[in-house]
Structure formats: C-alpha cells, structure tokens
Amino acid sequence: MLRAAGVGSGDEVIVPAYGNAEVAEDVVLAGAMPVFADIDPLTYCLSPEAVDAVVTARTAAVVAVHRFGNQADIAGLRRVGQRHGLLVLEQGELDAPCDGLPQRRAYATYLNGRLTGVITPAENAAHSHQYVVRVPGNGRPDRDAFARAVRARGVDCHVPVKTPLHRTPKFWRDIELPETERAADETLALPVDASLSRRELQRIVSACNALGGLLQPAF
C-alpha cells in the first residue's frame, strides 16, 4: 500500500515501536524511513498527539496497528493526517486467530471481573488475540517476577513485547517513548484461548490474585 501510494526514498512513515517489527520492516522495504511515535497507554496503539509531535516535512504516511483487540484512534489520526497531508493506513494484529472469538470475549469478561492481582485491560477490548494485563514495576522487575511465579502455579503466560523497536539494534533511535517503554516493562499476556476449561480459568485467577502483594507501592 505504501508503494502504491508513492511512498518511497526520502519519505518518513510514522509507526509504533511497541509491537512487531514487520510494519517497520515493510516501511524499509518500500524505501522509506520508519519514525517511531509513542502509544496511548490504554490501547497500546499510536497516540494521535504523539504522532503530531514527530511529523516533519518528510513525513508521508502513518501506519496505525490495532493491538490486543484494542482499536487505534483512527479518527484522531486522520485529523492529524488531514492537517499535514499524510496518508493514514491501518494494520490489524498480524497473527490474530479468527476462531472462538465469542468464547475468548466471555473468558476475558470473567477474568476482568475476578482478577485483583493485576491491572486488567479495558472493558471494550475485543480480546481477539491476547488478554494483556499490566504488572506495575514500582522500580523493581515485578512483571518478570510475577510471570515466573504465575508459571510456577501452572499458568502459561508470556511477555507480548519484550523490547520496543527503538531499543533494538536494527531500529535503534536515541529517543524517549515513555508510554511505549512502560508498556514493554509492565505488560503480560495471560491465556484466554477458547479451549480453556473453567478450572483453568479459576487457576489463572487464583495464581494472579495470590501474588497481588507484588503490586504494593515501594516505600
């Protein structure tokens, strides 16, 4: 789509640093330069205000990636695009399965209502791919300790984004993206597959809530 729109050498394309590298790599393949903007802390998608702040005379397009069932603020991004004459493209989650969505949503609602040991996702998230919670660090690696303890209790979990792209060797940028970096430090994906049993859901709740002490503020 970038090439079809005439985006290429000398152009900049604004993309999120929180997430898969594929979008930034596609920008490079089109001959353009990926520029990273910060995310909204609730949706994990590009923030229109952050995008507006990094627009330059070379910016040609913005690629918004919908993340964890959350929708990017496309209306806000389009307003930014209209103001600066930019193309605004959308990218869905790259590996989101399409089966069992109603069941996953039901499980997400169940977890939202019972988890106290973590910060649960927004109520309106579709949870089409991952059920992502936050474990605030308070200056300590709480998320990683929390993940190890939850796994020890038989609950499979993983860190959805281990390193933001602007902190990787390939796309290194000497910039500050505070919400992106905080999300990478705090987020944890818990299982919400349609194949889960009620007992497995209860195990997730018990394991997370038993570790709620990790969320206490540091003094």
Chain centre distance of CA 28: 21
pLDDT computed for residue 130 by the predictor = 83
pLDDT computed for residue 132 by the predictor = 95
pLDDT computed for residue 141 by the predictor = 56
pLDDT computed for residue 218 by the predictor = 40
Q: How confident is the model at residue 142 (pLDDT cuts 50, 70, 90)?
A: confident
Angle between helices 198-210 and 101-114 (to 10 degrees): 30
pLDDT computed for residue 219 by the predictor = 36
pLDDT computed for residue 12 by the predictor = 98
Is residue 138 scored above 70 in pLDDT? no
Lowest mean per-residue pLDDT among 108-117, 118-127, 140-149, 200-209: 118-127
pLDDT computed for residue 182 by the predictor = 94
Q: What's 214's DSSP letter?
A: G
pLDDT computed for residue 128 by the predictor = 60
- End-to-end Cα spacing for the chain: 51
- The CA-based dihedral angle spanning residues 24, 27, 32, 38, taken in that order and rounded to the nearest 10 degrees: -40
Task: Give tens-digit pLDDT for 172-217.
Answer: 999 999 999 999 999 999 999 888 999 999 999 999 998 865 544 4
pTM: 0.90
User: Cβ distance 156 to 191 under 8 Å?
Assistant: yes
pLDDT computed for residue 176 by the predictor = 96
Is residue 106 scored above 80 in pLDDT? yes
Q: How many CB atoms lie within 10 A of CB 54?
A: 16
Q: How far is residue 202's CA from residue 210's CA, in Å, rounded to a whole number? A: 12
Task: Give tens-digit pLDDT for 44-89.
Answer: 999 999 999 999 999 999 999 999 989 999 999 999 999 999 999 9
pLDDT computed for residue 217 by the predictor = 45
Chain centre distance of CA 173: 19
Task: Give tens-digit pLDDT for 6-20.
Answer: 999 999 999 999 998
Chain centre distance of CA 50: 15
Rg over CA atoms, the chain: 18
